[in-house]
Amino acid sequence: MYIVHSIVEVPEGKAEEVIGLYRNRSRLVDNAPGFIGFQLWQSEASAGELTVHMQWESKEHYLRWVTSDDFKRIHELERKYPDQELAAIIPTVKRYKVVAQ
């Protein structure tokens, strides 16, 4: 299994807006080969720290997703989001392979 975390620091007062965007996400990734699951995490210590947690069958499945037309389409929409402060956020991406369960 392969795990990808995209960690974002959302400006103060905008966490709920971003959470709403993820609750209403396109779900295109849900049909990607090798996709297992998605969760959005909110830090208890800092409400503006959000982590997108995605599970994949393998690194190869994830890499196919990030080079897909659907991935490009989703991220192009993000760049065009009306709130440019949110659109400009660059996440910190961390990737992990599961080595024990």
What one-character-per-residue DSSP string does 58-80 give? -HHHHHHHHTSHHHHHHHHHHHT
How is the chain split into domains, by residue range?
2-97
Q: How far is CA 99 from CA 1, 39, 44, 65, in A?
A: 8, 20, 27, 22
Q: Right CATH number for 2-97 from 3.40.50.2300, 1.20.120.160, 3.30.2020.30, 3.30.70.100?
A: 3.30.70.100
pLDDT tens-place string over residues 3-50: 999 999 999 899 999 999 999 988 999 999 999 999 999 999 999 999
At 35, list the tokens: 């996709």
Tell me what pLDDT residue 98 has: 97
Tell me what pLDDT residue 85 has: 85
Tell me what pLDDT residue 31 has: 94
pTM of the model: 0.89
pLDDT tens-place string over residues 50-97: 999 999 999 999 999 999 999 998 877 777 777 888 878 889 999 999
Of the candidates 53, 63, 39, which has an alpha carbon nearest to the alpha carbon of residue 7?
53
Tell me what pLDDT residue 100 has: 96
